[in-house]
Amino acid sequence: MVLKTRLYKMRLVNRQRTLFNDYSYSDHWHLFAKAMDDDVSKHRTLKFVHPKDKGKEYIRHYYSMPVNGHALLALGQYKNEMDFTYVWIVLHPIYFKEPYLVLGKNSRSVRNPDLLADMVASAFNWVLRDNGVELVMESWDPKEKRDLWYKDFSESYANEALHIEDSNHEIFGYEDALELVKDARHPKAKNVKKNDDIRVYFRPDNKEVLLRFLHQAVEGQKVAKDIARPFRLLYDLNLTDHIPYKAVVKELPEVNGLMTERRYNNWTNKFSTSYDGDPIYEKLKESLNI
């Protein structure tokens, strides 16, 4: 993955100082993980505010389902489709010794990555301070291991996901960044339900061709990954927006008992699953007559 990135060590410190007036480190990272889960479930929503402009609040968007404090977020104002920054959070790394955060492409609305790191720390500290701890960011360059971070995120995320109960997955999911752009432009439309007409999510050209392709590709499939594969392909190729599950089952009701919404969202999420090296995926791509 080629991205301009900045890395930061995440340190949790006790707010009560030692006898020598120093801070001591805490290992109570479960408090951080809980703050993230509460944010996603809207039990206690975090606010991401520009450190130097308190009137400028940013939208946080979870691209991946948080698992024990591991997550991929997008943080920005979404005035356009590129107005955000990717934020990877790794709480239990495999290839590194300490928790860390990675900032991807810098949003134009905050050019200084240190301010973005401070924004993340401040958002979580609003909750963490009630528990006597505080998150501190420290700029970090692991040098020869620098390129390992994405592999580390992927593998540690998958490792933590193994320990999450299946029922817990269902309260999360992920959103399409495009929907956040629309929300930012039209705030009153935030609570409008997603359209269940599958054609709404197709690009203007070749709608009937794409619909016919989906019907043919899904016909006879019994496994969630195989059913989701053609939807993921069209999404990867930018021929459709992300199609919500309810639009899929309305158009193809036969898949309703074969694939849950969680499974569908997982297999169509570009950031949590990959079809790289999948020969069926490649054959489907070749069969697209567009």
Residue-wise pLDDT for 208-257, tens only, equals 899 999 999 999 999 999 999 999 999 888 888 889 999 999 999 999 88
Summarised one tens digit per residue, pLDDT across range 57-100 is 888 888 777 888 888 888 888 776 667 888 999 999 999 999 99
The model's pTM is 0.59
Q: Is the confidence at residue 132, as pLDDT, over 90?
A: yes
Residue 217 corresponds to which tokens in the numbers above?
A: 């590709």
Over residues 9-14, mean pLDDT: 94
Instruction: Please tell me the predicted confidence (pLDDT) of residue 181.
Output: 43
Token pair 């968007």: residue: 61
Cα-Cα end-to-end distance for the chain: 28
* Alpha-helix runs per DSSP H in 172-273: 177-185, 207-218, 224-236, 245-251, 261-267
CA dist 146 and 124 (Å) reads 26
What angle (nearest 5°) sits at the alpha carbon of residue 142, between those of residues 87 and 5?
Answer: 30
Q: What is the pLDDT of residue 81?
A: 63
Which pLDDT does position 283 carry in this prediction? Answer: 93
48-49/57-62 β-pairing:
antiparallel
φ and ψ at 7, to 5 degrees? -110, 145
